[in-house]
Amino acid sequence: MATLKDLSRHLGISVTQVSRALNDHDDVSDDTKKRVRKAAKQLNYVPNMSARKLVSGRSGVVALVQKNNPDLIEDHNFIETVTNLSIEFSKRGKQFVLHIAPEDADEISVYKRLIGGGALDGFVVHDPANNDPRVEFLTQSEVPFVLHGRTLGDVTYPYFDIDNFQVGYQLTKHLLDLGHRRIAFINGPEGLTYSTFRTQGYAQALQEFGVPFDPDLMFYGRMTEELGLVKTIECNSLSGNFPSAIVAGHVRIAKGIYQAADALGINIPRDLSVVSHDDVVPKLRASAFYPALTVTRSPLRNSWEPLARYLSDFLEGGAIDDLQCVSSFDLVQRHSAIPRG
């Protein structure tokens, strides 16, 4: 395995120049960087993380901490997250590691232990809560991180998010425009900020149309087919009228709603209109539902490059204001929602 000295001898330049070229420093020309990277590939050079940390103060390693849960192994969103973050950080010469903590673990203790080991430069944090203790701890400890999402209140860290308030608002308003007034919402887990923002958007749309917010039509839970199935059946057992429309927080929830409707003999969209948010998850295409599902569409894959770039730039001293983004989405109207008869 080649070393920095081997690359230096091969190229006829100093070890310092080789190191700075590999770390993409601005004072090294693009031609030199290309020569060094080509030689590193030819000679099978692999950076020594311990030596790298001694020279630069950074290891080139970033991490994501995830608490285990019974559905994790089948969570396609999570698998896509880990796979593509690893790819994007690799493009930037960094190693991305995943740390799975026990389901009952104290996450702050996990972060303290990982930080204390001194092997990590920073973290990707996802699924933030409204007032997330991880964000508070990392901020107070001055540990670099990027958040996939946002917390409530002041936002003083790099993040990439979509406008989840508008997701809840636009899906609900679309149904209200079609004449629906009894609209249920099967949302993600309560207390997570994307769920909170979506609930706020849903409530705002109802208010604008003079429709009272009914807590009996608001549901939260892990975004699975089971949640959609069970909560739709619960809607059917409510006193009063069955909702004429349901907003789903994810296409997996929508799939469960379709299954429940089929079991209950409810026709979509004649008896029940359904709309959903769509992360564009592989093997679960909203356009392939029958009838095709109306969605707010924002591919999850659009998050990985900015998350990796923002954390990498932050580690290099980038300004936080340049490392924050609330992304838009598309409202795609299909055949699962029709005017209320």
Verify that 184 and 169 share a domain, yes or no: yes
> 118 Cβ partners below 8 Å, 6+ apart?
53, 59
What is the model's pLDDT at position 41?
A: 82
Verify that 171 and 139 share a domain, yes or no: no
Verify that 84 and 139 share a domain, yes or no: yes
Q: Report yes or no on 333 lying in a domain.
A: no
Q: Which amino acid is at 125?
A: V
Verify that 178 and 289 share a domain, yes or no: yes
Verify that 201 and 110 share a domain, yes or no: no
φ/ψ (deg, to 5) at 296: -90, 125
CA–CA dist 207, 183 (Å, integer): 13
3-state DSSP of 12-24: CCCHHHHHHHHCC
Verify that 156 and 256 share a domain, yes or no: no
Verify that 215 and 257 share a domain, yes or no: yes
Q: Report yes or no on 52 lying in a domain.
A: no
User: At 17, which CATH number?
Assistant: 1.10.260.40
State the residue range of the domain holding 141: 61-161+301-325
CA-derived radius of gyration, the chain: 24
User: At 250, which CATH number?
Assistant: 3.40.50.2300
CA–CA dist 222, 340 (Å, integer): 29
Q: Report yes or no on 53 lying in a domain.
A: no
Find out whether 21 and 28 touch, Cβ atoms under 8 Å: yes
> What DSSP state is assigned to residue 84?
H
What is the model's pLDDT at position 8?
A: 85
Q: Report yes or no on 54 lying in a domain.
A: no
Q: Report yes or no on 56 lying in a domain.
A: no
Domain total for the chain?
A: 3
Verify that 245 and 321 share a domain, yes or no: no
CA 252 from centre of chain: 16
Verify that 218 and 310 share a domain, yes or no: no
What is the model's pLDDT at position 51?
A: 47
pLDDT string in tens for the chain (341-residue length): 577 778 888 889 987 788 788 777 778 888 898 898 888 888 887 665 444 543 445 678 999 999 888 777 777 778 888 999 999 999 988 999 999 989 888 999 999 999 987 789 999 999 999 999 999 999 999 999 999 999 998 899 999 999 999 999 999 999 999 999 999 999 999 999 999 999 999 999 999 999 999 999 999 999 999 999 999 999 988 766 899 999 999 999 999 999 999 999 999 999 999 999 999 988 899 999 999 999 999 999 999 999 999 999 999 999 999 999 999 999 999 999 999 97
Question: Smallest Cα–Cα separation from 231: which of 202, 251, 255, 260?
Answer: 260
Q: What is the value of pTM for the model shown?
A: 0.82
Verify that 316 and 238 share a domain, yes or no: no
Strand order in the sheet with 122-126: 95-101, 61-67, 122-126, 145-148, 159-162, 324-327
Q: Report yes or no on 51 lying in a domain.
A: no
Q: Report yes or no on 243 lying in a domain.
A: yes
CA–CA dist 217, 233 (Å, integer): 12
Q: Which amino acid is at 202?
A: Y
What is the model's pLDDT at position 240?
A: 66
Verify that 266 and 282 share a domain, yes or no: yes
What is the model's pLDDT at position 99?
A: 92
Q: Report yes or no on 313 lying in a domain.
A: yes
Q: How many residues are recorded in the chain?
A: 341
What is the model's pLDDT at position 117?
A: 78
Verify that 170 and 292 share a domain, yes or no: yes
